Structure 1
């Protein structure tokens, strides 16, 4: 098969994390490179001394908070600690998680699977903005609930995300108690009291059926009842650390529940997996997932034929996410030569880092992403970061990108701008961009011009 350099550049930007030096010179069709990454079924896992399991991190956080309280209650005349205090566990853990994610992004040969991880982590959003418990567990959520299932079955991903400690904390399910459960009766809760519907609502509206998926308020309440009892270990015991997911039978609402026309008997912890498996197999879920995937990779208003094909694959292949990814790559609509999507801030920063072969600098990346409005795991609401071009291409957003591009150009002032354009854009570079490069007053300015070129900003 003849290799089309333009198609290679387009594919590495649209489906991957951006070209690195030498990537555009590959003599293999980009479709095969991308397919092989999916078929290998290897999802990179970040590593590092601070990347513990969520229960371990939550337990350590609780111990740190208790130690801080004891220190405050102690004598003010005690000895002063030597040197500056170490960063608290939430900040130290968050920095380590960011560093690990950046290292994976830099090392990825193409990054299609890594992009899928990012997509699904945003689909099942948890946010560090909710406090220290989420700041220590949001990265663990991605490692433990998303990555192991990103090329597996959607129902397994759904269950792992819904029952992870970070999600139970983020959407307040740890505070949900069945009104008629033993715990609810001890509290004297009346009908409806003690039941928290946040997780149930978002599971239906955002994670499975979609806002137009045919569910009603009764279904939200029904799923919230099924979710009661799903909480965290309070104290360490033989079953797990404090902070591990636990099903507390005494807080679970008793009785059968009817959800989306199906009745689920009160069979303890198995009630939830059965309900979620049915939601995962629902036709509305197939359409919702297909639309969001097509919107993310192809266009804000994706071609209906592409959405229909993805939904059909989702249904026919029993929610096999690897087959869904392959169908996306095999669809002609996904290869429209017009670059309709704007790179999100995270995609922009990582693509620049890869193209310039810069060593990942977590502090600089965190500062840049904060100014651009997309820090890792920090979406302002459960629907995640926006996926529409207009969100990131506002006048203010572009001015901030220009500032980030200028600072990046200074960091990479030793790089030849023309060689950089050839490496990351190749045949996508327009005459206007190349003319601007010839007129650049410095190498740093030339690098910034490439980073701000429409063909680099879009994918």
Structure 2
């Protein structure tokens, strides 16, 4: 595997047949960091957060009362089961949000297929999965695209602390992990509710736990349950206008801005906080910001991020030397992400010829469409359907941990059979304009093996030849 092929396939999203191989692969990758533009022209049609929030204004949302319904696995949407709500009204809301979700998916797929800075695009997908949210929750359905477009994309070339704060305070994350309803037990609003209704309001620790375990320090490292609780108290105050529940929603109806993340001192737990051996005396939002800034540059965070980045780009079990080099870069730069990416590019472990990474469904579908020079799809929902059938529906991981990045989760017998079926469908659409015998050496370059070349040459039809190319061992890995 040549360095040019590594740059296009391991760092990028896949070679395209008429794109010239970079003369200097490292310069080509570094230039993508310099000229990255986070804006997506197609995302301009996305609805405002206020209009999304308006869809929920007339009724309460309760995750416990949602269930997944529908036959289309690519766009299955949660449906409200609360009997007091008009089913027709619910269906209208869900249909509206479904259309907004599909439009956002279109923008993401278009960018991935057509991008000339696909190393940067891969980084967007990596960080979006690292800070995962899920459309399993109805409020997140229409916000998932806005989350990736406004919280992830603009911050991947900044400090990790900037990306962290943008991700965990976006409305989609606050709603997904129930932070929008978290109320300090001793906050002013909690005191009012307790006095009027003799009812105590509770703290929600979901966001605090996932930030420590998944987003920064890593599981079972330097924190304990006390740190989670203290951090959860510091995070109280962050909520979403027009989309929270209960007393918070009623308060925000008078004070909030629909659809936006906001901090309200009235629901913040007062007092100092002790988190991971450090005392925080700041008041209000400044307290949470100070804790986030400290854990963003903690040595445990550096190791966690270095390991995940190396695992995604290099191997399921990444070389310890690569992890150590990335960890050192992270610590020395204070979490400067462009410097971290340049360290990745300069690492010799990244340029080994062996194809150590098995493509996830997303990688495989996008690289297939790029290989076939599909510049535009008549219906990107078809691609979304393909990904759902292979177990990786866009913005719908099974947990806050995001989709798996290791081979065993994507290379099972059933998963490979689905790829066979989908490869045949993709090939049938392109067989009238693409010859696999000509395309294979352009896409696979020197990694094209004799057995694969012979199989393609002996294919019974043009579509079978293309399917064999997309299912070849060389194309399934990067």
Unaligned segments of structure 2, at least 5 residues: 61-79, 243-248
Distance 1:455 1:219 in 2: 46
TM-score under structure 2 normalisation?
0.87
Question: Could you tell me which residue of structure 2 aligns to residue 102 of structure 1?
Answer: 109
**Residue correspondence of structure 1 range 182-201 to structure 2 within 5 A:** 182-188=188-194, 194-201=202-209
Distance 1:417 1:73 in 2: 54
Question: Could you tell me which residue of structure 1 aligns to residue 236 of structure 2?
Answer: 228
Contact 2:208 2:229 in 1 (8 A): yes
Contact 2:237 2:284 in 1 (8 A): no
- Structure 2 residue 334 is the aligned partner of structure 1 residue 318: yes
Question: Could you tell me which residue of structure 1 aligns to residue 430 of structure 2?
Answer: 412
- Structure 2 residue 32 is the aligned partner of structure 1 residue 37: yes
Question: Could you tell me which residue of structure 2 aligns to residue 81 of structure 1?
Answer: none
Distance 2:183 2:290 in 1: 20
Query: Which region of structure 1 is more displaced relative to structure 2, 238-247 or 212-221?
Result: 238-247
1:7-32: CA deviations, max 9, x gaps?
21122110101011123x43512221
Distance 2:139 2:18 in 1: 42
Contact 2:55 2:93 in 1 (8 A): no
**Residue correspondence of structure 1 range 150-299 to structure 2 within 5 A:** 150-188=156-194, 194-234=202-242, 241-299=257-315
- Structure 2 residue 396 is the aligned partner of structure 1 residue 402: no
CA separation of 1:238 and 1:441: change in aligned 2, threshold 3 A: same
Contact 1:12 1:110 in 2 (8 A): no
Contact 2:190 2:200 in 1 (8 A): no
- Structure 2 residue 98 is the aligned partner of structure 1 residue 91: yes
Distance 1:102 1:373 in 2: 17
1:258-283: CA deviations, max 9, x gaps?
00111111411111111100000100
1:159-191: CA deviations, max 9, x gaps?
111111100000001111111112222343999
CA separation of 1:214 and 1:270: change in aligned 2, threshold 3 A: same
Q: Decide which of 22, 26, 42 is 2:21's aligned counterpart.
A: 26
Distance 1:38 1:148 in 2: 12
State the 1:73 CA deviation. 7.0
3-state SS of 2:358 partner: coil
1:401-449: CA deviations, max 9, x gaps?
1111011110111210112212211111100100101110001000000
Contact 1:46 1:104 in 2 (8 A): no
Query: Which region of structure 1 is more displaced relative to structure 2, 184-193 or 373-382?
Result: 184-193
1:116-135: CA deviations, max 9, x gaps?
000000000000012x2111
**Residue correspondence of structure 1 range 80-159 to structure 2 within 5 A:** 88-130=95-137, 132-159=138-165
Distance 1:36 1:338 in 2: 25
- RMSD of aligned Cα (Å): 2.6
State the 1:110 CA deviation. 4.2
3-state SS of 1:222 partner: helix
Contact 2:36 2:117 in 1 (8 A): no
Contact 1:9 1:19 in 2 (8 A): yes
1:242-269: CA deviations, max 9, x gaps?
1211112111111000001111114111
Question: Could you tell me which residue of structure 1 aligns to residue 441 of structure 2?
Answer: 422
Distance 1:272 1:374 in 2: 33
3-state SS of 1:62 partner: coil
CA separation of 1:149 and 1:48: change in aligned 2, threshold 3 A: closer
CA separation of 1:438 and 1:272: change in aligned 2, threshold 3 A: same
CA separation of 1:182 and 1:204: change in aligned 2, threshold 3 A: same
